[in-house]
A and B are shown apart, each in its own frame.
Chain A
Amino acid sequence: GENVEQHPSTLSVQEGDSAVIKCTYSDSASNYFPWYKQELGKRPQLIIDIRSNVGEKKDQRIAVTLNKTAKHFSLHITETQPEDSAVYFCAASSSYKLIFGSGTRLLVRP
C-alpha cells in the first residue's frame, strides 16, 4: 500500500535553533501535503500545507518545501520556542485519504 516515511522520530534542539523534519512518500499521484502538530493529549491541528504546484510555502517561522521528483517534503521551523515542543506529523494525499507519517517528537530546550 501507499506509505509515508518520516524522520527523525525524535528531535531535541536548543531554543532559538532551527528544526527540520523530513518525509518521503510513495504515491506519485499525491498532490496535497499537510503538516499537523499534536500537543500532549490533544487533537492534531494543521500548521501548514502545500500543494504539488508549489515548491515552497512559508508562514512566519514555519516553512515547507516539496520536491515532487524525489517525492520528498520537509518542515522547517526557525527560531524555535519551548511552545513548539510537540509531536509533528506529515501526510500525503492518496485517493480519499491522507497517509500519515509515524511522527516526530520535537523537544525545544529552554
Chain B
Amino acid sequence: SQTIHQWPATLVQPVGSPLSLECTVEGTSNPNLYWYRQAAGRGLQLLFYSVGIGQISSEVPQNLSASRPQDRQFILSSKKLLLSDSGFYLCAWSVQAGGDNEQFFGPGTRLTVL
C-alpha cells in the first residue's frame, strides 16, 4: 500500500533562517506531488505541484521554492523565513494522468516562525 511521510512534524524557526521540509511517498511510481500551506483556521493554499522529476509549477510567488530530486521525493525550501510563513504545511500525492484523482495528504509539518 502507499504511504506518504513528512518531516519534521513540528518546527520552530527564527525570522530570516532557512527552511527545508521533506516529503516522500512509498508504494507508487510517477506520482503527482503537491505542497500546500494552511494558515491557522484557514483553507488550503496550493504552493507548488510537480508532475515529474525536475518539473515544478509554482502557484503563488513568494520566498519559497520546491524541488523534486527523485521520483517520490518533494522538498520545500526557503532561504529566509518570514513571519507570514508560519502555518501547517501539507504534502500530497495523486496518481499520474491529470488532476482528476484523489489526493492523499501527508501528516503535515507545523511551522512556527518567531
- A interface residues (Cβ-Cβ under 8 A, vs B): 31-32, 34, 43-46, 49, 51, 89, 93-98, 100-103
Contacts and interface: CB of A to CB of B under 8 A. Distances in A.
A101 B43 contact: yes
Contacts of A97: 34, 46, 49, 59, 99
A24 B98 CA distance: 21
Contact of A102 (B43, B51, B105): B43
Contact of A49 (B32, B57, B102, B107): B102
A43 B99 contact: no
7 contacts: A44-B105, A93-B98, A97-B34, A97-B49, A98-B99, A98-B103, A100-B46
Chain A at the B interface: SS class: strand
Chain B at the A interface: SS class: loop
B98 A103 contact: no
Interface in B76-114: 90, 98-103, 105-108
B11 interface: no
Nearest to A51: B100
Nearest to A102: B43
A100 B51 contact: no
A89 B105 contact: no
Contacts of B15: none
Nearest to A95: B99
A103 B100 contact: no
Contacts of A93: 98-100
B102 A89 contact: no
